[in-house]
Amino acid sequence: MGADAERLATTDETRAYGARLAARLRAGDLVVLSGALGAGKTTLVQGIAEGLKVRGPITSPTFVIARVHPSLRQGPPLVHVDAYRIGGDLEVDDLDLDASLEESVTVVEWGEGLVEGLSDERLEIHIDRETGDDARLVTVHGVGARWSDTPPDRG
């Protein structure tokens, strides 16, 4: 999957995009989210969680660093990580994300430059907030053979 960008006009569209993306996710997948503060990373994760049918609520795990949301329907759990306060590789190692990576869908906010070593195959998603409204530009780049096909369906 090469880089693919989509403009999402509202927070509801951002959640819906996350739910569509969830339909393509499976245990062992790593999703790395980047973007400015308030860009919509947690909103996107809320949509992913809805699509995966995991227990919520989904809130930013800034102070607890990571939350595990078990599946409500025999699917993979969602591991939601906020790496904003993580200072480097050693602190990432302390989270033991690699211990649950194979059986979970792991989504890391602020993970760019920190968690890529967890998997040779991952989705890198960058969210830019447009000025003056709720619109966001979401750019998705797939890394590795797992993501060599097309991005989630639009709609």
- Whether the Cβ atoms of residue 78 and residue 52 lie closer than 8 Å to each other: yes
Counted domains in the chain: 1
Q: Among all chains, which residue has been given the structure tokens 């959640």?
A: 15
Q: If phi over 0 gives left and psi between -120 and 50 gives alpha, with beta otherwise, what is residue 136?
A: beta
- The answer to whether residue 92 sits within a structural domain is yes
Q: Is residue 34 part of a domain?
A: yes
CATH of the domain at 61: 3.40.50.300
* pLDDT for 90: 47
The range of the structural domain enclosing residue 95 comes to 4-145
Residue 150 domain flag: no
- Digit-coded pLDDT (tens) for 65-118: 788 899 999 999 999 988 876 765 545 555 656 667 789 999 999 888 888 888
Give φ, ψ of 121 to 5 degrees.
-125, 125
Instruction: Assess if residue 10 is contained within a domain.
Output: yes
Question: Does the residue 29 lie in any domain?
Answer: yes
Per residue in 114-128, pLDDT tens? 888 888 999 999 999
Task: Report angle CA 72, 73, 77 to the nearest 5 degrees.
Answer: 65
